[in-house]
């Protein structure tokens, strides 16, 4: 695999972390698909063929089942960041094995490299779509004390689980919507001003927002039910909307220099 060379970095074995569940990632991918520029849409189609961004968004998680060391170990830390002190991500926060921000920088460079093999650019595109979604899940900007909420045991409508899983999939699946229904509902509520405001930001802002939200979602009572769902539904939907809009804006900036975003790697 060519990326095993491109990303040949020393690494420590990291604890695997999930991301948005497949429905959450497909929602952000579907929203992104609706907001691509013409140039970006053409380039995405050239790289992915009939595969849309909703399908591409889950690929890095799907590949975790591959027994290759690249997927089981090397790529594992690229789904999250850890900020142990303060509310702002700093380059020094990245561990030796890398994290979502360092991976995003490398995949962005690879996608921009027109001389890179098509296989490498296709992988880069899929990872970028996925990582941007991950960075909008508040527990993917963890504080380093509880594995992004994986160690916080809760029940969700009576089922034993953990807080990370509730935010990955529990809150989303509780709506009983397909990813396309959910994405369309959210897309209809995005205003033109939000498209402008959200598109003008980059990874530092996304992580800062996730940290701020993460600090508010730890429950006092581990028995989570309707009260918790209603308390955080608006915030969940907001993160999915922003994630989708920003995936599109990020790709637009890569493929169409006339529409740059600020704070890009």
pLDDT band of 9, cuts 50, 70, 90: very low
pLDDT band of 181, cuts 50, 70, 90: very high
Burial 14-40 (b: 16+ CB within 10 A, else e): beebbbbbbbbbbbbbbbbbebbbebb
- 186 pLDDT above the threshold of 70: yes
- 127 pLDDT above the threshold of 60: yes
What average pLDDT does the structure give for the chain?
A: 90
Considering the domain boundaries, does residue 16 fall inside one?
yes
Considering the domain boundaries, does residue 157 fall inside one?
yes
pLDDT band of 7, cuts 50, 70, 90: very low
Considering the domain boundaries, does residue 174 fall inside one?
yes
Considering the domain boundaries, does residue 263 fall inside one?
no
pLDDT tens across 51-104, in order? 999 999 999 999 988 999 999 889 999 999 999 888 999 998 999 999 999 999
Round to whole Å and give the CA distance between 72 and 36. 32
How many domains does one find in the chain?
1
Considering the domain boundaries, does residue 261 fall inside one?
no
Are the beta carbons of 106 and 128 closer than 8 angstroms?
A: no
Considering the domain boundaries, does residue 222 fall inside one?
yes
Q: Would you state the pLDDT for residue 4?
A: 43
Q: What is the mean pLDDT of residues 183-207?
A: 95
- 11 pLDDT above the threshold of 50: no
- Domain span including residue 87: 3-255
Considering the domain boundaries, does residue 262 fall inside one?
no
CATH number at residue 111: 1.10.575.10
Considering the domain boundaries, does residue 10 fall inside one?
yes
């Amino acid at each position: 695999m060519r990326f095993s060379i491109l990303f040949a970095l020393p690494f420590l074995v990291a604890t695997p972390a999930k991301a948005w569940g497949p429905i959450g990632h497909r929602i952000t991918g579907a929203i992104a698909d609706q907001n691509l520029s013409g140039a970006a849409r053409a380039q995405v189609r050239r790289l992915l063929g009939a595969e849309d961004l909703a399908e591409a968004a889950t690929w890095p998680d799907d590949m975790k089942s591959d027994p290759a060391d690249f997927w089981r170990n090397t790529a594992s830390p690229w789904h999250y960041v850890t900020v142990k002190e303060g509310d702002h991500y700093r380059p020094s926060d990245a561990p030796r094995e890398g994290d979502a921000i360092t991976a995003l920088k490398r995949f962005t460079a690879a996608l921009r490299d027109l001389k890179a093999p098509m296989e490498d650019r296709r992988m880069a595109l899929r990872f970028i779509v996925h990582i941007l979604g991950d960075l909008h899940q508040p527990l993917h900007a963890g504080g380093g004390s509880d594995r992004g909420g994986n160690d916080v045991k809760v029940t969700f409508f009576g089922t034993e689980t953990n807080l990370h899983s509730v935010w990955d999939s529990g809150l989303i699946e509780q709506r009983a919507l397909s990813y396309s229904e959910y994405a369309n509902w959210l897309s209809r509520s995005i205003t033109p001003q939000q498209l402008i405001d959200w598109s003008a930001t980059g990874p530092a802002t996304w992580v800062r927002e996730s940290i701020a939200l993460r600090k508010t979602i730890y429950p006092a009572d581990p028995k989570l039910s309707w009260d918790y769902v209603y308390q955080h539904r608006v915030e969940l939907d907001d993160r999915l909307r922003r994630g989708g809009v920003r995936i599109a804006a990020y790709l637009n900036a890569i493929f169409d220099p006339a529409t740059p975003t600020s704070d890009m790697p």
